[in-house]
């Protein structure tokens, strides 16, 4: 194998989960075939990187036989190789291991892997597995002198530029339209047999697991000591204590209130009622 291996990891739009509004029944529905916009942007980035780096472009996906169509279009658009991997797409770590195993076995270790930014935690796991640089959610991805350059959004409209050494795992936003395959290439790709790999990947290695929830229990705030209100009558002291929730509330006249409305509409009613009562809204009737 010669040259840099640049891999476009396309996400197959697997079944989506839908909840029946009437019955609450959860069901799964098959997604429509074809790569997502982010996946197509990743493919285009891979083509450009392969051209810049003088490397080979590989398109790979984890998906069922229906995903062959997507890979044929990648082939027609300019991918040198394609590969379909059969693995569990729901387990991000297993998916990353399967992708790595399949690509390494058939084409050698990848130098750059580009995902769409809708790929969940798979890029992160892959970067960890390969000890590669990781740059996710990129707007731009270019190659200059064997080093990748990336542009990423920051808060408040700012951008940051990244220098990304190889090997690298990147993901890109769907801001780049993919090139259109020529008709002769499309026709040639139609009858291409797509290679399929079922990698035998080891069990999970990373020790971490999902966030664990403890058993639910009632909310019982810790007791706090508040100063005795300065009032002559006992009832005034009780009122002063029970109208406020804490020392600050008492000190400022005590207007904080904890309410537990049953739903959002009731909560909205309470807020409006409170604001009206305190003269913020005027007469809304």
**What is d(CA 246, CA 176) in angstroms, rounded to the nearest whole number?**
55
The distance of closest approach from Cβ of residue 48 to another protein in the complex, given in angstroms and rounded to an integer, is 17
The distance of closest approach from Cβ of residue 186 to another protein in the complex, given in angstroms and rounded to an integer, is 5
Under rule CB under 8 A, residue 193 binds another protein = no
Residue 43 or residue 112: which is nearer to another protein going by CB?
Answer: 43
Residue range at the interface with another protein (CB under 8 A); choices 14-22, 49-57, 197-205, 217-225: 14-22
Under rule CB under 8 A, residue 186 binds another protein = yes
Under rule CB under 8 A, residue 24 binds another protein = no
Write the DSSP string, the chain: --S-EEEEEEEP---EEEE-TTT--EEEEPPPSS--HHHHHHHHHHHHHHHHHT-EEEEEEE--GGGHHHHHHHHHHT-SEEEEE-S-TT-HHHHHHHHHHHHHHHH-S-SEEEEETTSTTHHHHHHHHHT-EEEEEEEEEEEETTEEEEEEE-GGG-EEEEEEPSSEEEEE-S-SPPPPPPHHHHHHHHTPPPPEE---PPPP-----SPP-PPP----PPP---PPP--SSHHHHHHHHHH-SSHHHHHTT--------SSHHHHHHHHHHHHHHTTSS----
Among 1, 17, 21, 160, binds another protein (CB under 8 A): 21
Show the site string, 44-83: x = touches another protein by CB under 8 A, - = not: -------------------------x---x----------
Residue range at the interface with another protein (CB under 8 A); choices 28-36, 142-150, 165-173, 215-223: 28-36
Residue 35 or residue 49: which is nearer to another protein going by CB?
Answer: 35
The distance of closest approach from Cβ of residue 44 to another protein in the complex, given in angstroms and rounded to an integer, is 15
Show the site string, 136-175: x = touches another protein by CB under 8 A, - = not: ----------------------------------------
| Range 242-261, binding another protein (CB under 8 A) | none
- Residues near another protein (CB under 8 A) are 20-23, 25, 32-34, 69, 73, 180-184, 186-187, 190-191
């Amino acid at each position: 194998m010669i040259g840099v291996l640049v891999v476009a990891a396309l996400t197959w739009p697997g079944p989506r989960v839908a909840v029946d509004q009437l019955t609450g029944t959860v069901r799964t529905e098959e997604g429509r075939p074809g790569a997502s916009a982010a996946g197509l942007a990743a493919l285009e980035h891979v083509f450009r990187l392969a051209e810049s780096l003088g490397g080979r472009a590989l398109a790979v996906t984890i998906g069922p036989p229906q995903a062959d169509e997507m890979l044929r279009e990648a082939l027609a658009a300019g991918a040198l190789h394609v590969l379909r991997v059969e693995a569990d797409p729901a387990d991000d770590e297993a998916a990353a291991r399967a992708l790595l195993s399949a690509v390494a076995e058939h084409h050698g270790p990848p130098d750059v892997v580009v995902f769409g930014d809708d790929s969940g935690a798979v890029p992160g796991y892959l970067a960890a597995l390969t000890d590669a640089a990781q740059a996710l959610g990129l707007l731009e991805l270019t190659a200059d002198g064997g080093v990748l350059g990336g542009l990423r959004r920051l808060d408040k409209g700012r951008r940051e530029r990244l220098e990304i050494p190889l090997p690298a795992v990147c993901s890109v936003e769907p801001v780049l339209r993919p090139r259109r395959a020529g008709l002769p290439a499309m026709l040639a790709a139609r009858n291409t047999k797509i290679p399929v790999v079922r990698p035998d990947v080891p069990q999970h290695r990373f020790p971490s697991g999902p966030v664990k929830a403890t058993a639910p229990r009632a909310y019982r705030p810790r007791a706090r000591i508040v100063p005795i209100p300065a009032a002559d009558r006992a009832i005034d002291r009780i009122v002063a204590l029970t109208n406020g929730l804490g020392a600050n509330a008492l000190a400022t006249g005590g207007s904080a209130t904890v309410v537990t409305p049953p739903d959002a509409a009731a909560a909205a009613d309470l807020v409006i009622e409170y604001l009206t009562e305190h003269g913020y809204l005027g007469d809304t009737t």
